[in-house]
């Protein structure tokens, strides 16, 4: 393996997939007992996008990756590593290699990373470690999920929250490290608060032996517990990441959180004393897209000119596991 001399990390391109089908709150009011006002007041969500029959996790991830490579003027054959953060792969054996093939990134190694709504941030930090050791110099990190597959559309507590999406960033080796600080955490004692569980179904194999051939069940969530967890833990871990970066909240340009619930974003921003106009949110249009939410919101803000080269971003992902993390990085 060739060692490269540049061991800093620069985030140089972003991309996202564009889904054609939006499901509005009014649409959901025809499915469950709810209303646009009820959903928007409690979550900030007005609509969410869902994948069509022709789309897949791989196709969405490929679209996002292609857009990120194009923005960064990177040829697919220059990519050394692809990390696909997803909890909803097309294939339980992994979907990253299919994305690698679709992109034509023939020199890249590719693997899936599963950490649900924390997945993109965990993948970003993982990618940086390969680069800081000098092993890889160009990495594509993709966050993608198709939660519509695993949503109970008769459960109004969860079906109003989730949408499908994909976002990606390109990382390149640099003389100056733009990943300024990070911190990652997990607490498995809270695992039962948010799950997409496997449920076994016993079937006779022989006269005295059985096998467990079940399937995965729709998403379940204890919304109150997840809210309390996020409002407490996310500001703490952002402050720890800022400490590692040698910064305070006054030194950041943007707060970019996993898009779980607008009330969580507002509460975290208030605790950190970050003005609302420095909080990036696309919650109203996309809902909770799990691992896709951070890179999707990032890409929109880069493309519409809000985020500019040199801007410092404090980002945090949080969710199933329960897991949470924060990263402070400079864009461009």
pLDDT digits (tens, 9 = 90+) for 209-264: 999 988 999 999 998 999 999 999 999 999 999 999 999 999 999 999 999 999 99
> What would the pLDDT profile of 158-184 be if each residue is shown by its tens digit?
999 999 999 999 999 999 999 999 999
Q: Return d(Cα 217, Cα 139) in angstroms, integer.
A: 33
What does the mean pLDDT of the chain come to?
Answer: 96
Quick one: average pLDDT of 69-85? 98
Same domain, 35 and 59: yes
Quick one: average pLDDT of 58-83? 98
- Measured CA to CA in angstroms, residue 83 lies from 184, 233, 294 at distances of 17, 26, 15
Same domain, 160 and 254: no
Residues labelled as active-site residues: 117, 258, 288
Evaluate whether 254 touches 302 at the Cβ level (below 8 Å): no
Same domain, 152 and 236: no
- Going by pLDDT thresholds of 50, 70 and 90, the confidence category of residue 1 is low
- Going by pLDDT thresholds of 50, 70 and 90, the confidence category of residue 4 is low
Same domain, 309 and 273: yes
Percentage of the chain exceeding pLDDT 90? 96
Tokens representing 83 are: 């990390």
Same domain, 67 and 140: yes
> What would the pLDDT profile of 103-129 be if each residue is shown by its tens digit?
999 999 999 999 999 999 999 999 999
Instruction: Give me the helix-helix angle, 293-303 and 57-71, nearest 10°.
Output: 40
Same domain, 49 and 171: yes
Residue with tokens 């003027």: 73
Secondary element (H or E) of residue 257: strand 254-257
Q: Return d(Cα 58, Cα 30) in angstroms, integer.
A: 30
Cα torsion 134, 15, 240, 184: sign: negative
Same domain, 60 and 161: yes
Helix (H, G, I), strand (E, B) or coil at 28: helix
Domain end marker among 153, 179, 205: 179
- Measured CA to CA in angstroms, residue 269 lies from 18, 281, 315 at distances of 28, 12, 12
Percentage of the chain exceeding pLDDT 70? 98
Q: Reply yes or no on whether the pLDDT at 332 is more than 90.
A: yes
Q: Reply yes or no on whether the pLDDT at 3 is more than 80.
A: no
Do the domain assignments include residue 53?
yes
Same domain, 248 and 261: yes
pLDDT of residue 7: 86
What domain range is 261 assigned to? 180-189+219-297+304-330
Helix (H, G, I), strand (E, B) or coil at 95: coil
Tokens representing 88 are: 């909803």
Do the domain assignments include residue 207?
no
Same domain, 33 and 147: yes
Do the domain assignments include residue 1?
no
Looking at the structure of the chain, the number of domains it has is 2
Tokens representing 3 are: 């060692």
Nearest residue to 168 (alpha-carbon basis) of 303, 273, 318: 303
Domain of 123: which CATH number?
3.40.47.10
- Measured CA to CA in angstroms, residue 93 lies from 67, 89, 97, 241 at distances of 26, 8, 10, 33
Cα torsion 135, 69, 244, 293: sign: negative
Secondary element (H or E) of residue 312: strand 312-319
Do the domain assignments include residue 91?
yes
pLDDT of residue 6: 79
Same domain, 25 and 152: yes
pLDDT of residue 2: 57
Do the domain assignments include residue 194?
no
Same domain, 168 and 19: yes
- Residue 243: other Cβ atoms inside 10 A: 13
Same domain, 149 and 133: yes
């Amino acid at each position: 393996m060739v060692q490269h001399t540049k061991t800093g990390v620069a985030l140089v391109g972003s991309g996202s997939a564009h889904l054609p089908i939006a499901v509005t709150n009014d649409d959901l009011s025809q499915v469950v007992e709810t209303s646009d006002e009820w959903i928007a007041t409690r979550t900030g969500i007005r609509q969410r996008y869902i994948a069509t029959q022709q789309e897949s996790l791989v196709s969405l991830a490929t679209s996002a990756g292609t857009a990120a490579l194009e923005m960064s003027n990177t040829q697919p054959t220059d990519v050394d590593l692809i990390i696909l953060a997803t909890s909803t792969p097309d294939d339980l054996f992994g979907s990253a290699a299919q994305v690698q093939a679709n992109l034509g990134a023939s020199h890249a190694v590719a693997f899936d990373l599963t950490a649900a709504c924390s997945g993109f941030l965990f993948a970003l930090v993982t990618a940086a470690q390969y680069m800081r050791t000098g092993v890889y110099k160009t990495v594509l990190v993709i966050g993608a999920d198709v939660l519509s597959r695993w949503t109970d559309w008769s459960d109004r507590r969860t079906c109003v929250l989730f949408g499908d999406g994909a976002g990606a960033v390109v990382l390149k080796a640099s003389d100056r490290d733009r990943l300024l600080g990070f911190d990652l955490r997990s607490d498995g004692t809270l695992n039962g608060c948010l799950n997409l569980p496997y449920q076994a179904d016993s079937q006779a194999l022989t006269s005295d032996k059985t096998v467990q051939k079940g399937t995965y069940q729709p998403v379940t969530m204890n919304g109150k517990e997840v809210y309390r967890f996020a409002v407490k833990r996310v500001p703490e871990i952002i402050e720890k990441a800022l400490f590692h970066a040698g910064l305070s909240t006054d030194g950041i340009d943007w707060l970019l959180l996993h898009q779980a619930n607008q009330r969580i974003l507002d509460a975290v921003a208030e605790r950190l004393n970050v003005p609302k106009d420095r909080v990036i949110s696309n919650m109203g249009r996309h809902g909770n897209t799990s691992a896709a939410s951070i890179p999707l919101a990032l890409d929109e803000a880069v493309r519409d000119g809000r985020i500019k080269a040199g801007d410092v971003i404090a980002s945090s992902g949080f969710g199933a596991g329960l897991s949470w993390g924060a990263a402070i990085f400079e864009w461009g």
